[in-house]
């Protein structure tokens, strides 16, 4: 598998799994009816960088990296990750998270923060914890899951600087 920087043209191959994940409404606080153009702006245009993970020319996942806050908080980055359903369970999210931490250090970030992890997304919480992220905040009933109702959202954080 290869991780490389994404281009705007790559979004055509990201969109199918982005749309599926957003429409499900189980992990991201994106509008469930988000349009392809809105999604491309959010995932490709607005962040500092976006990446894809490919195997044999097929895009299986993607992530973005951006500055979490301006000014005095600009040493902390934020990332979002998505993996196509057919590629889950193969370690792609872990590979992208590890890659993003290296990219973050190269870009001069000193920490990474996930602002809004649905507590019901147990696989992500378990993975981010395994990769050294700590739950530093809990927002009670901040995420409206389509079948579980209101669940907590977690803030997860990792200091990257040596």
86-122 residue pLDDT tens: 999 999 999 999 999 999 999 999 999 999 999 999 9
Opening angle at CA 85, ends 14 and 26, nearest 5: 90
Whole-structure pTM value: 0.95
What does pLDDT average to over the chain? 97
- In the sheet where 49-55 sits, what is the strand order? 2-5, 49-55, 58-67, 76-83, 111-118, 149-159, 134-145
37-86 pLDDT, tens per residue?
999 999 999 999 999 999 999 999 999 999 999 999 999 999 999 999 99
Phi then psi dihedrals of residue 129, to 5 deg:
-65, -45
Decide if 132 contacts 156 (C-beta within 8 A): no
Model pLDDT, residue 15: 98
* Domain locations along the chain: 2-159
Q: Alpha-carbon distance 93 to 97, whole Å?
A: 6
What lies within 8 Å, CB to CB, of 132 at 6+ separation is: 158
Model pLDDT, residue 47: 97
Please determine, looking at this structure, whether the domain spanning 2-159 carries the CATH number 2.40.160.20. Answer: no
């Amino acid at each position: 598998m290869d991780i490389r920087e994404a281009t705007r043209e790559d979004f055509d191959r990201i969109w199918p799994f982005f749309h599926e994940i957003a429409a499900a409404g189980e992990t991201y606080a994106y509008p469930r009816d988000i349009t392809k153009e809105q999604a491309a702006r959010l995932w490709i245009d607005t962040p500092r960088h976006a990446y894809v993970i490919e195997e044999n020319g097929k895009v299986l996942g993607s992530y973005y990296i951006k500055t979490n806050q301006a000014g005095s908080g600009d040493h902390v980055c934020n990332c979002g990750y998505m993996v196509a359903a057919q590629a889950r369970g193969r370690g792609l999210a872990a590979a992208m998270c590890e890659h993003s931490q290296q990219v973050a250090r190269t870009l001069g970030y000193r920490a990474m923060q996930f602002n809004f992890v649905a507590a019901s997304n147990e696989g992500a919480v378990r993975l981010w914890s395994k990769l050294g992220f700590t739950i530093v905040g809990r927002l009670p009933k901040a995420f409206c899951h389509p079948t579980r109702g209101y669940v907590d959202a977690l803030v997860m954080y990792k200091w990257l600087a040596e």
